[in-house]
Amino acid sequence: MKDGGKTLCFALVAGLCVLILSLPTIIIIGASVTSGSILRFPPEGFSLRWYEELVEADAFRDAFWRTLHVSLVCTAISIPAGVLAALATVRYRLRFRAAIQVYLLLPFTVPLVVSGIGMMVFFGEIRILGQIWPVGIGLCVINLPFMIWAVSASAGALDPELENAAANCGANPVQVFFTVTIPAVMPGVITGALLMFILAFNEFLVSLFLTDSRTVTLPVQIYNSIRSVITPDLAAVSVVYIGVALVTVWAIDRLVGLEIFLKSR
């Protein structure tokens, strides 16, 4: 096969993959602007009525703000925890380092159902179940490996001579940490923080165990709505999620670059 034929073949395969990946998004966006009362594609005319109803719906609006609150709590806790854990396991020779690294990856090995039930029982015992901020802690626990991986990728590329040079110039360990180490791993910190935010924003299963009728988050609210009746306003909510994901990807690209993000994965 000639080079032109190979290029055309690869282009067709790539185009088909992009189409398959984009099709669910295209369908949900189209269904969200239907003028009908049934979730269907192609849409029955064009209307933004479901977005208007979504804004006016107290349940979805309150659930959105709770989810935002949970995501911010998760991100705020994950930054110091993930940065310190990553630097400790990458930059220092710790005893049982391999065992510690495996332990930090345990959230990936434990099923989310088990994690959710365990946190529900624990939070209930210490009487904080039913509040918003413990949900953020729970989501931070299950997603923290993403933060550790992102920072570890940047920490592994840090030249230790830079820290030694700062120390030789009279900087104490705290000054070295904040003026050399942290700026060097900042791309990983930003990447991990944005990942933690979007993962917490999307998490459903663990949130289902940690919330009640007063603290329902947006994924749980969508689930509760689907159990009763499926209407186009759920498609509009899905478009909101797509928008949040696009903004997150845009922020990663602008702040650290997608190449660094992909390397950290």
Q: pLDDT digits over 105-132, tens only?
A: 777 778 888 888 889 999 988 888 888 9
Instruction: Determine the Cα–Cα distance for residues 232 and 27; give it in Å rounded to an integer.
Output: 12
Question: Which one has a higher pLDDT value, 256 or 178?
Answer: 178
* Residue 126 is assigned to a structural domain of this protein: yes
- Least confident among 154-158, 181-185, 195-199: 154-158
Six-digit token pair at 219?
Answer: 């994924």
Residue-wise pLDDT tens digits, 201-230: 888 888 888 888 888 888 888 888 777 667
pTM of the model: 0.81
The H or E element containing residue 197 is: helix 182-202
The answer to whether residues 82 and 148 touch, using CB atoms and an 8 Å cutoff, is yes
* Residue 36 is assigned to a structural domain of this protein: no
* Residue 225 is assigned to a structural domain of this protein: yes
Question: Does the pLDDT of residue 27 top 90, yes or no?
Answer: no
CATH at 213: 1.10.3720.10
Residue found by looking up tokens 């966006």 in the block: 29
Six-digit token pair at 218?
Answer: 């947006």
Q: How many domains would you assign to the chain?
A: 1
Instruction: Determine the Cα–Cα distance for residues 63 and 233; give it in Å rounded to an integer.
Output: 14
Length of the chain: 265
Torsions phi, psi for 257 (to 5 deg): 95, 140
* Residue 44 is assigned to a structural domain of this protein: no
Instruction: Determine the Cα–Cα distance for residues 216 and 135; give it in Å rounded to an integer.
Output: 10
Instruction: Catalogue the long-range contacts made by 154-157 (C-beta closer than 8 Å, 24 or more residues apart).
Output: 154/184, 154/185, 154/186, 154/187, 154/188, 154/189, 154/260, 154/264, 155/86, 155/87, 155/90, 155/91, 155/184, 155/185, 155/188, 156/90
- Report in angstroms the alpha-carbon separations of 104 from 89, 151, 152, 232: 10, 14, 12, 41
Residue-wise pLDDT tens digits, 50-87: 888 777 778 888 888 999 999 999 999 999 998 988 88
* Residue 22 is assigned to a structural domain of this protein: no
Question: Does the pLDDT of residue 1 top 60, yes or no?
Answer: no
132 Ramachandran zone, left/alpha/beta (phi>0; psi -120 to 50): alpha
* Residue 2 is assigned to a structural domain of this protein: no
Residue-wise pLDDT tens digits, 132-154: 999 999 999 998 888 888 888 88
Q: What's the domain range around 81? A: 50-264
Non-local CB neighbours of 145 within 8 Å, separated by 6+ positions: 104, 105, 107, 108
Instruction: Determine the Cα–Cα distance for residues 187 and 131; give it in Å rounded to an integer.
Output: 32
* Residue 50 burial (CB count, 10 A): 24
Q: Residue 140: what pLDDT?
A: 92
Among 67, 36, 47, CA closest to 241: 67
* Residue 93 is assigned to a structural domain of this protein: yes
- Report in angstroms the alpha-carbon separations of 192 from 2, 133, 144, 241, 249: 44, 20, 9, 19, 12
* Residue 113 is assigned to a structural domain of this protein: yes
